[in-house]
Amino acid sequence: MQARVAALETRLGGVARVNASLERALGTVRGRLSAREESGLAPLAARIQRSVFTVETDRELGAGFVAWFANGDSYIVTANHVVAKAGAGAAVTVLHKGGSWSGEVVMQDAANDLALVRVSGHPAGTAALWQRPSIPHPKPGEQLLLIGSPYGLDGTVTTGVVSRVTKKAIQTDAAANPGNSGGPIVDRHGRVVGILVSGAGENLNFGVPIARACVTLRRC
């Protein structure tokens, strides 16, 4: 009997050592995955930041992103309420890293709170961020980046997850403040999946899915 107990204790000790070894291995893998994920966000954010601008009028402040280029002009998508008081055809100021450009409001979609600003030329370093609306909708729990100009702090990056998705809105817990409106909502693959348009409190912010921009801003 004592021999059996001793044998069982020996086997249990071996199992415990194997479990401890597995826990260490899993901890190492988790650490590597976490480091890889964090290091992956930095270059992604840096790439998107180059195409995100502050949009300013006499009365409002927001953000916008270069969506496409055409005939030597840059087209910037923003939130309509940022430029609504200026009105269609009005001049707005577009700012980025110390540079300043004059833009013209060329299209407004009040129903979806979206607008389009045209800037003559191609600001250095910018890339078109427009994504086909056929890309998959983000799902609850997926990670997102918001890039905008809260209180005029251009190029500010915040992260969060998708909280809820409907046909007309993407809800996220990523932090946003006045000045973020019009900035892109970007998934972990670097795709613009929406445009931030409103917030209802801390960690409760909403964006328009990129497909809604097809209603009036661009034929898709």
Residues labelled catalytic? 81, 113, 181
Closest CA to 152 of 187, 185, 188, 177: 177
Give dist(CA 151, CA 154) in Å, integer: 8
Q: Give the E-state strand segments of the chain in sequence order.
A: 52-56, 61-70, 73-79, 91-96, 99-109, 114-120, 143-148, 156-165, 170-172, 184-187, 192-201, 204-209
Residues constituting the chain: 220
Per-residue buried b or exposed e for 117-145, using 16+ beta carbons within 10 Å of the residue's own CB: bbbeeebeebeebbbeeeeebbeeebbbb
Specify whether the CB–CB gap between 94 and 122 falls below 8 A: no
Give dist(CA 132, CA 191) in Å, integer: 9
Q: Which amino acid is located at 218 in the chain?
A: R
Specify whether the CB–CB gap between 83 and 115 falls below 8 A: yes
